[in-house]
Chain A
Amino acid sequence: MSTRRTDRRPRTYRSRRAAGKLGYYTTATALAILFLFPLLWSGWASVRTSNGFGLANYRNMVHYGDGIGTYLMNSVEVTALTVAGTLTVSLLGGYAFGRFRFPGKNALFLATLAILMVPYPTILIPLYVLLGWLGLQNSLLGLAAVLVMFQLPFATFLMRNAFEAVPQEFEDSAAVDGCGTFATLSRVMIHAVRPAVVTVGLFAFLAAWNEFFAALILLNSSDKFTLPLAVVAMEGRTFGSIDYPTLQAGVVFMAIPCLMLFLVLQRSYVRGFMAGALRS
């Protein structure tokens, strides 16, 4: 469609446009290569074996330790709990911060952001002890609870901005239609902030799926290990005899769900970042 229209334009314009397009694609390709290279290299290294190419490294990976199935299920469980927990709390919290006036609102919001003010690994041991009191040591639920907490500052901040950007008329008309506060949120507002919900969910997913350090400190037995712990342990032998191929197979295995989810949710993801950035 556009080609036919450009055909009628003057030659110089067309060539300038072509040059612009070329520049765009060159830059985009270069950037794509730059960002994709490590992943592609991992993929390539993961199918290389001592005698050519094959899936032997993947076989090693699948049978590593308790079997990749255990680690996968643990990762799925932690990730699902984290995403659900983060969404629930940040949606309610963001709604309250964004649409209500109550005493101590700003102080409370600042307290939420306080979690960002210390390097999080430094508070892992106190958290570990705390989880012990709650009987949640070495449990996936405990790990998910900690991960939700680490997600909250960013998630609440994003949801607050998203809710603040929704025009007051939405809420008013919902009230006219007889909605209470909670019904307004669940029937009207949630649809208005959907891009932010997707962004927060995706962020929580990526963080929980890839979390290494908290899992290392909070989990104590290999039947509870998540994928990142298992994959990092795959590398190890003494003094530089690192098992790179198996490690790379693990890396590729872990990256696939993230890539797929990102592709599916890509549009909402980008829109989520814009939420609250532009206001009328």
Chain B
Amino acid sequence: MFRTRHLRRAVSAAMAALVLAVTGSACSSGGSGQPAAGATTGVTITMWTRAGTQSQTQALIDAYNASHKNHVVLTVYPNEQYPAKIASAAGAHALPDIFTSDVVFAPNYVSQGLWADVTSQFNALSFKSDVVPSFIRAGSANGKVYAIPHALDLSVMYYNKTLYKKAGLDPDKPPTTLAEYATQARAIAKLGGGVYGTYEGGNCGGCVEFTVWPSIWADGGQVMNAAGTQSTIDSPQAQAVLQVYRGLFADGTMAPAAKQEDGTTWLGALENGNIGIAPGPFSWYSLLKQKGLDMGVAPIPGVNGGQSTFIGGDVAGISATSSHEAAAWDFLSWTLGQQAQVDVIAKASEMIARTDLADNQYAEADPNVLVGNQVLAKGQTPYALNFNASYNDPQSPWTTTLRGAFFGPSLTQALATGQSAITSSLQQQ
């Protein structure tokens, strides 16, 4: 494991370097807003995605293929190696017609010119202003749109109603402030017998940014400047939020495994039904329901109230080298339409990509889904060119910072040193 991880990192670094070298000439060709090329019907469109969002992509493709003359063919790659695959294919000019990307990588691909400019096509959509704005921003550069939302996920609070009743808490009153969250978690932890108050990915940069940053945003704070070049993690808001979590780790309200949780057994901890309340991705909702757990969903609050969410997931764009641009756009624009959003995505209890469709028939049938849909409009998607190395990577300065903030001798010092370390990482390009 250790060795492969190193190997993988060495490889991705080598590939990134190569791609930058090899794609130099291809970069600018797709970005000039040429008229859409190729036929729009009867075309076979190739598409790549990662395993993480495969089920949703496949559902969309099946519905599209059944009702259109074009035929979309999907190839799925393992999550971890997907960026390496994109990089190598880009270097060899062998990208498919459409490829998706984790939204945090999108600014990078946009800057490398891997996606074609779809600004005029996107602006022609009647519902363009209702498409999750933070995602459009991640897929845009210099006022031009290159990628659109494809499969969304956002962070929410899950609370176990069965445990709430056992602990004498009202299962219809989830916390509205982070302080209440801590109080309720502590009340549950008192149950004992293998039951813990809460859970978190204590050794997972991606998990913590996904679930803890929303509290900072809800309090009006920011973790970075808008350009994504300057960390502002050493703020009073971040300090107050992290202090709450630090306390939960310190007094054992947090399940012991949370301290080393690197994300791989995060869902499993909640599925066991022994955790009172914990933040997590909305995409788990249907899985938790399948386990027979009586889970409530609530927005992630700030220390003083308010609510926010981290909107993550995938964007999709048309390769700059595609020769089926028009047909590819026909598919992509259809995926954002009401039929695809409601009858395919909402029906599968997945997160929709349009704020105007929050009150659809499937959300009305399940109040938990409605909570997720409604918080969508209040969410953020952080933007930074060097996001992965600064935050998600296990060796990232953010991971060091959060370890220090949760478990180190001093929270203030961890944030102060973390801020400068993250900033210098963000500025490396």
A236-B52 CB under 8 A given contacts A122-B11, A125-B15, A222-B74: yes
- Closest chain A residue to B18, Cβ basis: A125
User: Chain B residues near A232 (CB, 8 Å)?
Assistant: 78, 81
B10–A233 touching, CB < 8 Å:
no
- Mask, B57-84, CB within 8 Å of A = 1, is 0000000000000000111111101001
User: Chain B residues near A217 (CB, 8 Å)?
Assistant: 84-85, 88
B75–A121 touching, CB < 8 Å:
no
A222-B267 CB under 8 A given contacts A119-B10, A238-B281: no
B52–A237 touching, CB < 8 Å:
yes
A216–B266 touching, CB < 8 Å:
no
A241–B7 touching, CB < 8 Å:
no
A216–B84 touching, CB < 8 Å:
yes
B91–A233 touching, CB < 8 Å:
no
Give Cα A138 to B92, complex, Å: 12
Give Cα A242 to B268, complex, Å: 9
A236–B267 touching, CB < 8 Å:
no
Give Cα A238 to B313, complex, Å: 9
List residues of B (377-422) whose CB comes within 8 Å of A's CBs: none
A239-B88 CB under 8 A given contacts A65-B76, A121-B14, A233-B76: no
Question: Which listed residue (B11, B78, B94, B266) contacts A236, Cβ 8 A?
Answer: B78
List residues of A (14-66) whose CB comes within 8 Å of B's CBs: 50, 65
- Closest chain A residue to B79, Cβ basis: A236
Residue A171 CB within 8 A of the other chain = no
User: Chain B residues near A199 (CB, 8 Å)?
Assistant: none
Residue A220 CB within 8 A of the other chain = yes
A129–B91 touching, CB < 8 Å:
yes
A239–B266 touching, CB < 8 Å:
yes
Residue A128 CB within 8 A of the other chain = yes
Residue A182 CB within 8 A of the other chain = no
A216–B53 touching, CB < 8 Å:
no
Residue A167 CB within 8 A of the other chain = no
A221–B78 touching, CB < 8 Å:
no
Residue A235 CB within 8 A of the other chain = yes
- Closest chain A residue to B46, Cβ basis: A221
Most chain B CB within a 10 A radius of its CB, from A221, A237, A240:
A240
- Mask, B243-264, CB within 8 Å of A = 1, is 0000000000000000000011
Give Cα A238 to B51, complex, Å: 8
Give Cα A232 to B46, complex, Å: 21
A240–B85 touching, CB < 8 Å:
no
A239–B280 touching, CB < 8 Å:
yes
Residue A257 CB within 8 A of the other chain = no
List residues of B (6-41) whose CB comes within 8 Å of A's CBs: 7, 10-11, 14-15, 18-19, 22
Give Cα A88 to B280, complex, Å: 55
A132-B94 CB under 8 A given contacts A233-B76, A242-B264: yes
Question: Which listed residue (B14, B15, B51, B207) contacts A237, Cβ 8 A?
Answer: B51
Residue B325 CB within 8 A of the other chain = no
B92–A128 touching, CB < 8 Å:
yes
Give Cα A213 to B11, complex, Å: 10
Give Cα A138 to B268, complex, Å: 37
A222–B75 touching, CB < 8 Å:
yes
Distance in Å: Cβ of B100 to nearest Cβ of chain A? 13
Residue A229 CB within 8 A of the other chain = yes
Distance in Å: Cβ of A171 to nearest Cβ of chain B? 43
Residue B265 CB within 8 A of the other chain = yes
- Closest chain B residue to A126, Cβ basis: B18
Distance in Å: Cβ of B321 to nearest Cβ of chain A? 13
Give Cα A124 to B19, complex, Å: 12
The 6 closest A-B pairs by CB, nearest first: A236-B51, A240-B266, A222-B75, A232-B78, A241-B267, A121-B11
Interface residues of A (CB under 8 A from B): 50, 65, 119, 121-122, 124-125, 128-129, 132, 137-138, 213, 216-217, 220-222, 225, 229, 232-242
Between A and B, 18 residue pairs with Cβ closer than 8 Å are: A50-B291, A121-B7, A121-B10, A122-B14, A124-B88, A129-B92, A216-B78, A217-B84, A220-B75, A221-B75, A232-B78, A233-B51, A235-B51, A235-B79, A236-B50, A239-B153, A240-B207, A240-B266
